[in-house]
Amino acid sequence: MQLYFAPLACSLATRIAFYEADAKAEYIQVDTKRKVLTKDNADFNAVNPLGQVPVLRLDDGSTLTENTAVLQYVAECFPQTRLMPAGGPAQARVRQWLGFIGTELHKAVYVPLLDSKASDAVKAYSRDKIKLRLDFLQSQLAGRQYLADHFTIADAYLTTILNWSRATSIDLSPWPAVADYYARMLKRPSIAKAVSEEYELYMKEK
């Protein structure tokens, strides 16, 4: 499989999932501002007309987009990793978290704060949403190591999004269970490796 990614973007979650599975994948870097592949300036819109990462190219040559679909596909390819519970309420709970992270955190809060084109009013609208959402995360993470009973794709995605807190000046310290969780996740070998590799690429790109 090939993963089209941008350094430290939401596609990082899929790299983490691959590292958790100890799976081979090809990583193709994308400049999402210029909509080109970094290695040869090929048109990225030809890969994904939305111009967004992640894109997963499957072994049959087709492409899969949308982070939550990509993550679930990777988890299903490597069931031994238990990155997604096999079924029932445990699986539904991980899906609930993927929905929450994707819509309530990634898109509603972090993306507008990261977007240099977002107006001050838009940023204020997003900042207003932080407290309720992080209060909820705090209540759910207190006394727990992971979002579910063990590490899942939801943790890979949440860590990827929390990793943008410094860039968006979101101080996690008022939510100690969230701050502790994030610090703990950064030490997990798959995440430490993925973050340090992509940080290097990110700095190079800058």
Ligand X SMILES: N[C@@H](CCC(=O)N[C@@H](CS)C(=O)NCC(=O)O)C(=O)O
Residue 97 CB, nearest distance to ligand X (Å)? Answer: 14
Residue 6 CB, nearest distance to ligand X (Å)? Answer: 6
Query: What are the DSSP calls for 70-120, one per residue?
Result: HHHHHHHH-GGG-SS-SSHHHHHHHHHHHHIIIIIIIIIIIHHHH-TTS-H
Q: What are the Cα distances from residue 107, in Å, to 28, 111, 133?
A: 24, 5, 12
Closer of 21 and 56 to ligand X (Cβ): 56
Region binding ligand X by CB under 6 A among candidate stretches 47-55, 85-93, 130-138, 182-190:
47-55
DSSP-derived secondary structure letter, 175: S
Among 31, 37, 38, 51, binds ligand X (CB under 6 A): 51
Region binding ligand X by CB under 6 A among candidate stretches 13-21, 48-56, 85-93, 118-126:
48-56
Closer of 54 and 112 to ligand X (Cβ): 54
What's CA 89's distance to the chain center, in Å?
Answer: 23
State yes or no: residue 130 binds ligand X (CB under 6 A): no
Please give the structure tokens belonging to residue 201: 């690429």
Instruction: Tell me which residues in 73-102 interact with ligand X (CB under 6 A).
Output: 102
Residue 145 CB, nearest distance to ligand X (Å)? Answer: 26
State yes or no: residue 32 binds ligand X (CB under 6 A): yes
CA–CA dist 69, 15 (Å, integer): 14
State yes or no: residue 16 binds ligand X (CB under 6 A): no
> Which residues lie below 8 Å from residue 8, measured CB to CB, with a gap of 6+?
163, 164, 195, 198, 199, 202
| Interface residues toward ligand X, by CB under 6 A | 6, 9-10, 32, 51-54, 66-67, 102
